[in-house]
Structure 1
Amino acid sequence: MELTEFEPDRTLPGLLLDRARREPDAVALRYSRGGVVRVLTWRMYLDRVRELAFGLVAQGVRHGDRVAVMSGARPEWVFAALAVQSVGGVVIGVYPTNSPAEIEQVLVHSEAVAFVGESETELAKVAKIAANTPDLRLVVGIDVAPPDLPEGITGASWDDLRSAGDLDSLAELIAATTLDDPAVLFYTSGSTGVPKGVTHSHRTLQHAIQSVVGLYPECRTARHDVVGFLPLAHVAPAVLLVFTPLHTRLVVTFCPIEEYGQVLRAVRPTVVLWPPRFYEKLAAELIAQAESWNGIRRVAYRIAMHVGRRMAERRWSGRRASVLLRIAYAAAVRGVFLPLRAIHGMDRLRVAWTASAAMPESVVALWQIWGLDLRENYGLTETGGCPIGQFGQPFPRPGRIGREFPDPRFQVRLADDREMLIRAPLLFRGYWRNPSETAAVFEDGWFRTGDLMERTPDGDIRLIGRKKDVIITRGGKTVDPQPIEIRLRESPLIEEAIVVGDGRKYLTVLIEPNAAAGAELAERLRAELDRVNADLARVEQLKDFRVLPRPLEASRGERTANGKVKRAAVVDSFAGLIGEMYGVDDDAAIADHVRRPRR
């Protein structure tokens, strides 16, 4: 079936049931623990889900109930999700890094009746706040039994939850759920207020899956391998690693994030969809490796980079490379770049994708020079998948996010204020029990993305900014700087605070001190940062600060006429000061490597 013709006819657990019946002994997924890789077939996968589903039913979980899962990327997250959905419930991903207060907020807002945690760390967090969650009735530990819990909340181990049940009764249980029932709640970061539960149904998730399949069309008919280590509470890893394999021949090897390097080398994936920071990190390591070479290897690499740059320039300009250049480049890829990429298990990849944050053009360029067709796509929690991507021309010019997914139901429109509006069948069903927020982001069926865009002359989409004053870090985390700045300005030492970090690995802050701040300012300001950081999530914490050498001025464009700070202008005015807080960024090293011949 063509992607443009797709319309789902089974719920997600229904797909699992069909797959296990059709090819029970085929490899469904793999997982690595301590360097040992184990294989699970579709029959084994279904058995785990069946046991857990009836265990949940025995514990009182019913159709429509919400169940939270908090763990790293591992098969148990997948089994729990499909078991919850088999009962007709809604799975909620909780980040392992979430604080007890953040967990409480999600459990209370979603009215979750059950919580599944991985280890003592996660279970201790939920035990700390369990008394404040009126709907919570069950806590399950994957690796260990839960600690003591308040009266009325049952604690159970993973093995305790597994129960008897047969395939016929599971099929009957699954049949009670419809395609338009809620399947997953993905909670936003709360960057623009209280976190919102983005509700995706079985139908919207399957349209999201089809857009992901559009990134790697061959995975419908031929086996592809991917390494799963990113948190499954985030929409992109969940769609790619948990749900896409149900529709395709994609095989995931799950591993703890601390093992991902060695597992990459062992698996040599054929599918990758990462935030920019992973491409950047690996590129920086491979540059260091190449620059450590001596003799003939160093000369060969220098020549290969010269050839690769020329090839990249031809591609981006739309000019056809000469026969001689194509032959030279093929030799450079085979003889130099593929062995270099193999150091990190990246040699089997032909096409790779990035999303969730702005990708430095130099990083895209370098991987393309090295022969990897690295492309960008665009998606949000509310879209589930990628309604926009560089689906067509190989080795596209960096700096664009492509065009609409090739299905006429996927549409993009430019609002009068240049905001990008999207209409597509993968759009979420609304924010969980928040009709006012849902209504605020829809206009006649068009979803307001909050991103500003423009069309290039050849029809591609380029992002040019955001309507809301938020920061997106290099890792794709969205942070609202204003509450942090308000906390800082509570200090009598601080007149103004401007949090920065858009496209960076972490947040820092520029501080305009109070004129009466007095002596030992730097030390006292550090204490103020520590005070504010103590109440912030890790991604929001400020790693460094600089004191502005002068007050912000409206005449320089740094403030509006009524005194409001213009963040972009401040970042431009004090770029050097900001640069000091980040040192020599991988970006700069990679950009230099792309531009200049190495001697």
Structure 2
Amino acid sequence: MDLTNFQPTRTLPGLLLDRASREPDTVALRYWRDGAAQAVTWQSYADRVRDLALGLSAQGVKHGDRVAVLSSARPEWVFTALAVQSVGGVVVGVYPTNSPAEIEQLLVHSEAIAFVGETTTDLTKIAGIATRTPKLQLVVGIDDAPPELPQRIKGTRWETLREEGARYADGPDRLSKLVSAGSLDDPAVLFYTSGSTGAPKGVTHSHRTLQHSIQTVIGLYPQLISRDHDVVGFLPLAHVAPAVVSVFTPLLSRLVVTYCSISEYEDVLRAVRPTVVLWPPRFYEKIAGKLIARPATWPRLRCYAYDAAMWAGRRVAELRWSRRRPSLLLRIAYAAALRGVFLPLRAAVGMDRVRIAYTASAAMPESVLAIWQIWGLDLRECYGLTETAGTPIAHFSQKFPRPGFIGKEFSDPRFQVKVADDGEMLLRAPLLFAGYWRNPAETEEVFEDDWFCTGDLMERTLQGDIRLIGRKKDVIITRGGKTINPQPIETRLRESPLINEAIVVGDGRKYLTVLFEPSTNVDEQSAEALAERLRAEVDRVNADLARVEQLKDFCILPRPLQAEHGERTANGKMKRNAVLRSFATLIDEMYGANDDAAIANHVRSKPN
């Protein structure tokens, strides 16, 4: 696969047929069941997709129809997606955590004619909203049969649908004929945005744009096309990054996914010992927190060895970030630390075979990235949006990059990045989405000429490295007219183990304050003691901030942020405006009665 001049030639199901023909008995994927990994070959994969596609076709699903899928990360999601695409349909990903109202919104907006759900809970949600989804004709249960549905909607089990399709199968030609009717520019998947800045939008990706997304994932790990690699798939496949990595990238590479539930992923990591990792920051942070606690239980001599290894690791990391070469003695000391201390430490969580790892989807605290690099894991940031699906910007080749930078654009000359006059990042690349589903006005709004407006603010170094400095829509304009990006401040605050979430406040106000959601790992202590420790964290961050950026006060939230209150999206992202509404009284108390709400509202109404 030529990464710099790649041109898709087949739809995604076409790629599946190619693999099944070339290497029918090779393992395509695995899934975790009863404490062991079960293998599925490429031929078995294609057979299941064929039977399911013919079953869907017999139920009236045809070219252009939308089919919603709500499930955890498991092979049935994958087989269903490729089966829907085989008949020319469009997959609509639904998060397992979506409420009935959110599911209804997605089904109505996408006009889905079929729904595939995993559990009785999922199917019960659909039964409750079915009368308000007029296009819905078919409900399929993976684990259980659907409950009673309106007469116009047929309910069946996933396995029953597949068995019905098998009766129509007379060899691979039936599937080939279906697949050959598809086009590279047909819509393949609707990924709905998280809704952190408004109503969720259906982001349309075609077979062509998704394969250019795969192109960039392979650019992160070029060895994916020459040797087998393992990854553990546990994140919801309705989200764009896990779908691209775990569902579609294996079609063009030698990546083998082991699917498991999110409750099992730590056990599966230890068993599989993956070679490829691409996670949001919170998973690196969670695992690092557990590893950091381990030395406290070790014998004194082993603790001394760990301290010495950390000393060498810090020195090597600092030299790497400044692009200087460590001395021979330091390289020898670090090699010993890696082999004798850090790799065994990482092996305890199944991370010892990973040499290069990536993170995306949220700001990575520099301390988290730094600790993994000290431990010898070349953890790098990369950049992508639902609208890009893949990673047009990343540290594709720079080893152990300095924290805080997301890298450079992909080497293919069709991938271009430029900075608008107001600092916004603009992209032009073949992986860009085909548009928002049935919303040409919003699609037109995010393009200037043929450049996609990302909404992210960036700056570029003389060496070409790109750093994100905030979101265009998240800027705070204080009463004094100062424009401040809250995200870098929030990221610094979240470096503290005391803080799970930090929301900087100050739009239209005299100064900045912050709301804290304490970490669940904080030891039980009095409110006064916790407040004192949080004050110290505020002082730590304030010390490096300009006067207008400094936080003058803080408040501890009385409860965690909740998706049910609209304060978090389905994939856990904080929804700033919803949080500000939920805790408006607390915010007003931090500023006092003299703060002029009318002026604040006037400032908020101005364009950013």
Counterpart of 1:124, as a letter, is T
1:101 is the counterpart of 2:101: yes
CA distance 1:19–1:533, change in 2 (3 Å): closer
Which residue number corresponds to residue 122 of structure 2?
122
Correspondence list, 1:164-313, <5 A: 164=166, 165=169, 166-313=171-318
| 1:461 equivalent among 442, 466, 483 | 466
CA distance 1:461–1:52, change in 2 (3 Å): same
User: SS of 1:63's equivalent?
Assistant: coil
- Please report how far the alpha carbon of residue 559 of structure 1 lies from its aligned counterpart in structure 2 after TM superposition: 9.9
- Please report how far the alpha carbon of residue 291 of structure 1 lies from its aligned counterpart in structure 2 after TM superposition: 2.6
1:371 is the counterpart of 2:376: yes
Provide the rounded CA distance (Å) in 2 between the counterparts of 1:501 and 1:144: 41
Counterpart of 1:402, as a letter, is G
User: SS of 1:258's equivalent?
Assistant: coil
Any conservation in 2 of the 1:241–1:252 contact (CA below 8 Å)?
Answer: yes
CA deviation profile, 1:170-197 (whole Å, cap 9, x unmatched): 1010000000000000001222222110
Which residue number corresponds to residue 544 of structure 2?
none
| 1:327 equivalent among 303, 313, 332 | 332
Which residue number corresponds to residue 395 of structure 1?
400
Counterpart of 2:206, as a letter, is S
Correspondence list, 1:373-522, <5 A: 373-469=378-474
Any conservation in 1 of the 2:517–2:561 contact (CA below 8 Å)?
Answer: no
Counterpart of 1:230, as a letter, is L
- Please report how far the alpha carbon of residue 431 of structure 1 lies from its aligned counterpart in structure 2 after TM superposition: 0.2
Which residue number corresponds to residue 29 of structure 1?
29
Give 5+ residue unaligned stretches, structure 2: 476-485, 495-500, 507-511, 522-556
Provide the rounded CA distance (Å) in 1 between the counterparts of 2:44 and 2:12: 17
Provide the rounded CA distance (Å) in 1 between the counterparts of 2:309 and 2:445: 52
- Please report how far the alpha carbon of residue 5 of structure 1 lies from its aligned counterpart in structure 2 after TM superposition: 1.3
Q: TM-score, normalised by structure 1?
A: 0.83
User: SS of 1:5's equivalent?
Assistant: coil
1:338 is the counterpart of 2:343: yes
Percentage of matched positions with identical amino acids: 66
Which residue number corresponds to residue 50 of structure 1?
50
Give 5+ residue unaligned stretches, structure 1: 486-496, 507-524, 567-599
- Please report how far the alpha carbon of residue 443 of structure 1 lies from its aligned counterpart in structure 2 after TM superposition: 1.0
User: SS of 1:257's equivalent?
Assistant: coil
1:357 is the counterpart of 2:362: yes
Q: TM-score, normalised by structure 2?
A: 0.82
CA deviation profile, 1:391-411 (whole Å, cap 9, x unmatched): 121001010000001110000
Any conservation in 1 of the 2:123–2:141 contact (CA below 8 Å)?
Answer: yes
Any conservation in 1 of the 2:28–2:45 contact (CA below 8 Å)?
Answer: yes
Provide the rounded CA distance (Å) in 1 between the counterparts of 2:386 and 2:520: 21
- Please report how far the alpha carbon of residue 458 of structure 1 lies from its aligned counterpart in structure 2 after TM superposition: 1.6
Any conservation in 2 of the 1:554–1:563 contact (CA below 8 Å)?
Answer: no
Any conservation in 2 of the 1:99–1:537 contact (CA below 8 Å)?
Answer: no
- Please report how far the alpha carbon of residue 29 of structure 1 lies from its aligned counterpart in structure 2 after TM superposition: 0.3
Provide the rounded CA distance (Å) in 2 between the counterparts of 1:376 and 1:201: 26
CA distance 1:532–1:240, change in 2 (3 Å): closer
Provide the rounded CA distance (Å) in 1 between the counterparts of 2:563 and 2:183: 46
Any conservation in 1 of the 2:561–2:567 contact (CA below 8 Å)?
Answer: no
Counterpart of 1:193, as a letter, is G
CA distance 1:535–1:189, change in 2 (3 Å): closer
Which residue number corresponds to residue 147 of structure 2?
147
- Please report how far the alpha carbon of residue 550 of structure 1 lies from its aligned counterpart in structure 2 after TM superposition: 3.5
Any conservation in 1 of the 2:274–2:354 contact (CA below 8 Å)?
Answer: yes
Counterpart of 1:387, as a letter, is P
Any conservation in 2 of the 1:377–1:388 contact (CA below 8 Å)?
Answer: yes
Provide the rounded CA distance (Å) in 2 between the counterparts of 1:498 and 1:188: 29
Counterpart of 2:254, as a letter, is R
Aligned residues: 531
Which residue number corresponds to residue 551 of structure 1?
592
Provide the rounded CA distance (Å) in 1 between the counterparts of 2:340 and 2:330: 15
Provide the rounded CA distance (Å) in 1 between the counterparts of 2:561 and 2:273: 42
Provide the rounded CA distance (Å) in 1 between the counterparts of 2:562 and 2:421: 43
User: SS of 2:4's equivalent?
Assistant: helix
Aligned-CA RMSD value? 3.1
- Please report how far the alpha carbon of residue 563 of structure 1 lies from its aligned counterpart in structure 2 after TM superposition: 5.5
